[in-house]
Structure 1
Amino acid sequence: MAFVLHLLACIFGAGAWVAINGLWVELPLIVNELPEGWYLPSYLTVLIQMANVGPLFVTLMYKFKPGKLNEIYVIYFIIIVGIVASFLLGFFWRETTWVAGQIHSTAFLILTFFLSLVDCTSSVTFLPFMMQLQAQYMTTYFIGEGMSGLIPGLLSLIQGVGMVKCINITQSANGTPNVENSTLGQNEFETQYLPANFSVQVFLFLLSVMMVFCLVAFVFLTKLSKKENLNRSLLQSAVTLNSYSTSENLSEPSDQGHTDTQKQDEPSYVDTTSGTEVNKTTYSYGQYILIYFLTAWVNALTNGILPSIQTYSCMPYGNLAYHLSATLGSMANPLACLIAMFLPNRSPVVLVLLSLLGTGFGAYNMTTAVMSPCPILHDSAWGMALIVISWIFFIGTLSYVKVMIGVILRSQSHSALVWCGAVVQLGSMIGALVMFPLVNVYGFFKSADLCNTQCLS
């Protein structure tokens, strides 16, 4: 039963962000077909931030109308919306209409908004639902959430997304391009994308199938969680009755008041794995502020700031460096969750140090992006190795921090996890809004042309 619950929790977590992560990795193919071109990522960023109306509504309902919103029904609703939207996207993603005198991919943008609404709202519904299961399944959920980036990344590698070749085009005397080398003109190279192994439509249908798996996993999780809650209640009643009987037999009447005071001063809960009563860790107001600040900061880096400049950071080192950074970085996420399962550390000091370490790797990645198209060691194998390793450790260390924060808040209360999800979205939104004008308005970052960029040594 434990193995089945772990598997279901992992599949359930994978459905949290699989749709939007899938669209991001598919962009190199999509932008060549839609009229927005390479401005499409900026549209996606705006749509994702608009979709935060979903988690905002859920959070306000939890705050001002507690008990009125059934999170299980909300989860069913958003997963079904995700299935329908991703399925329709496979048919209508190329459809365009005229809007304000310009042609736009209206169907793609509208359906992407609904997918963003699903994924953003999952942050404030999926996590609180996991409160119904034991703490050990929370880590498995985060492993699945990491898989929501890894699985689309692996599919894109199989598909051959973004693979390019350099075509030698020589400008002839009359100005017509000729692929064959010639001494009549100046040699130039043109970057051309290789055809994919399967279409964008097939990829979008695969995303829809993954959302179906998420729905099936959730159906079984709700049924099994009810059984587990019943067993937990019976076990807790037995432990409480046993503790009461033991204290009555062993305590003197004169010591009864002292015993009750001690029980009130040391909050405890029942560990359903061992069937024993253990002390519950309490945190001060300042520690809560620190934990939520780390949540916002880490998610701003991993979901908003660094993803928007990954191409500028990696592409100067070559197409291989970009794909290794994206794929191995996605693998680092579930690996960090596994490490958190076997080597957990809830110390706020350790989490702060790990956050600083991850921020350091992020700063190196940002530096290479700022220096694009000619970052340090751009023409060296050491440069490619360093950028790949930096992205792996950036994602890995901060993923560990996110998992441990989730475990800490899970041990506190249901509302703590709701606010955790809200802060996750807030941090991600701030990071994206900070980077949007720098990347898309002011052109602060310069892209590298793999075939024509020349840098001074």
Structure 2
Amino acid sequence: MSLLTHLLAVLFGMGSWVSINGLWVELPLIVPEIPEGWYLPSYLSVIIQMANVGPLFVTLMHRFRPGALNEAAVIYTIIGLGTVSTFLLGFFWKDTVVVAGPQYLTTYYIGEGVSGLLPALVALVQGVGVVRCINSTQSLNHTLSTYNSSLTLDLQAQYQPANFSAEVFFFFLSAMMLVCLAAFLLLNYHPSVASEHSNGRYTNRTKHRAPKNKNWAEQKPMMDPYRAPNQKARSSFGSGSYSWPQVVYIFVILAWVNALSNVVLPSVQSYSCLPYGNNIYHLSATLAAVANPLACFIAMFLPIRSLLLMGGLTVGGSGLGAYIMFMAALSPCPLLVNDVSGGVVIVLAWLFFILTLSYVKVIIGIILRDEGHSALVWCGAVVQLGSLLGAVTMFPLVSVYSLFSSGDPCNTRCP
């Protein structure tokens, strides 16, 4: 396998979520100047899921008109739109308008993780969302008969200027999308990479290639631990390595972990972290971004495909997610809000939440990669479906019923 191809796969994967991840870490600088305020994360979740019409179209075309869709052209279009949109955000982010499989899959996932890490690091350098509380006086209970007034001290939040503007940050995101586009072009046309392109068409079953050496055939049983070489197929799904109950189990977990990690918890990240301070918020966002590629590296060297382990990690990650959700519900006065340990716990909760669920997602991607191209298409569809269900659930809770409160960073007093 080529190191250049791995590098290009990382750079290509970096463009997958860089725009969205960049928006999450830039929220403290954006929300004071837009009418949506801290409701923006829930709005973003719904808007992102509205774009699922694209993956749905690709899935339906693959199912009913296989081979009719030029998927490379679709990817070029998506990356081009992402580059243009992030560039335009640099000019218009303040404006309000009322509108009616391949073997390099794991390195691609690493690139997805980097798409969150780099914007988070840049946001830390930028110093977004730093608040200083200033004093102001208000004259209250003034009466004409006595000309007396009682003065009360009021603290007002004053957001400090960042080291560089939101415009510069969005131009940085646009540059990252350009790097993604360049990486995809090189993956398609660079001579050193072109030699590794797969030949022939994918089918609903695993694409078999002639073994390059005798060791490949010996390793294959280890790659598919649930089906011996001569064992009868358990189902008509992919290579038949998994029974239909196991396939359903895998896809349910895939939908669940993507709903939690892509939408449900990010929608309330500000509520769960900001009561502990802006530094805790940015630290949790940055370490969570680090956890994603870290999980991919771990999966690259320890691709444990045990369905039991997958379920255990999902339960553990969901438990951490429940704690984070509970802290968000208690905002602006979550547990240990006045104690340093409270901030440490919430940061660690975010770190291991993303780490465990990211590992689960990568392992599922590796499993489905070996089941063929069709399995990967369904993988993408289930990822989007899970994220959509998460958005539909969280938007009314956050933006309609206002179950979460951000509080005032200067005047909120917690016992």
Distance 1:222 1:274 in 2: 29
- Structure 1 residues 221-263: Cα deviation after superposition (integer angstroms, max 9, x where no partner): 1235531136x89xxxxxxxxxxxxxxxxxxxxxxxxxxxxxx
Higher helix proportion: 1
2:188 paired residue number:
222
- The amino acid that maps onto 2:196 is E
CA distance in 2, matches of 1:344, 1:7: 20
CA shift in 2, pair 1:342/1:174, >3 Å: same
Change (3 A) 1:312 1:187: same
Aligned residue runs from structure 1 range 82-101, under 5 A = 82-95=82-95
Residues 41 and 273 (structure 1 numbering): CA distance in 2 closer, same or farther, change over 3 Å?
farther
Shift >4 Å, 4+ stretches: 172-175, 267-275
Q: Is the 8 A contact 1:94 1:105 kept in 2?
A: no
1:163-312 matches, cutoff 5 A: 163-172=130-139, 185-223=151-189, 224-229=192-197, 276-277=216-217, 278-279=220-221, 281=224, 282-312=241-271
Whole-Å separation in 2 of the counterparts to 1:381 and 1:88: 40
The CA deviation at 1:47 is: 1.8
1:316·1:374 contact (CA, 8 Å) conserved in 2? yes
Partner Cα separation in structure 1 for residue 34 and residue 116 of structure 2:
23
What does residue 452 of structure 1 align with?
A: 411
Contact kept in structure 1, 2:41 and 2:266, CA below 8 Å = no
What is the TM-score of this pair, normalised by structure 1? 0.79
Deviation, structure 1 residue 271: 5.8
Higher mean alpha-carbon deviation, 30-39 vs 268-277, is at 268-277
**1:159 maps onto 2:126 in alignment:** yes
Whether 1:145 and 2:145 are equivalent positions in the alignment is no
Partner amino acid, structure 1, of 2:81: V
Query: Which of the two has higher C-alpha Rg?
Result: 1
- What residue identity is the alignment partner of 1:142? Y
Number of matched residues? 383
Describe the SS at the equivalent of 1:217: helix
CA contact (8 A) 1:34 1:105 kept: no
Give me the whole-angstrom Cα distance separating, in 2, the residues matched to 1:37 and 1:450: 14
Query: Secondary structure at the residue paired with 2:89?
Result: helix
Contact 2:5–2:187 (CA<8 Å) still a contact in 1?
A: yes
Amino acid aligned to 2:378: W
Q: Distance in 1 between matches of 2:16 and 2:89?
A: 18
Identity %: 58
Work out the CA distance in 2 between the residues paired with 1:296 and 1:446: 28
**Compared CA separation, residues 87 and 320, structure 1 to 2 (3 A):** closer
Distance, in Å, in 1 between the alignment partners of 2:176 and 2:60 is: 30
1:268 positional shift: 7.0
- Point out which structure has higher relative CO (alpha carbons under 8 A, 6+ apart): 2
User: Residues of 2 paired with 1:36 and 1:324: CA distance?
Assistant: 24
Q: What SS is found at the alignment partner of 1:385? A: helix
Structure 1 vs Structure 2 CA RMSD:
2.4
Report if aligned partners of 1:31, 1:37 keep a CA contact under 8 Å in 2: yes
CA gap of 1:39–1:356, structure 2 versus 1, over 3 A, is closer
CA distance in 2, matches of 1:368, 1:205: 34
Deviation at 1:91, TM superposition (A): 2.5
Instruction: For 1:274 and 1:452, locate their aligned partners in 2 and report how far apart those are by CA, in whole Å.
Output: 70
Letter of the aligned partner of 1:209 in structure 2? A
For the Cα contact (< 8 Å) 1:14–1:147, is it kept in 2?
A: yes
Query: 8 Å contact 1:316–1:372 — kept in the other structure?
Result: yes
1:11 corresponds in structure 2 to 11
Deviation at 1:449, TM superposition (A): 2.2
Would the alpha carbon gap of residues 358 and 445 (structure 1) be closer, same or farther in structure 2, given more than 3 Å must change? same
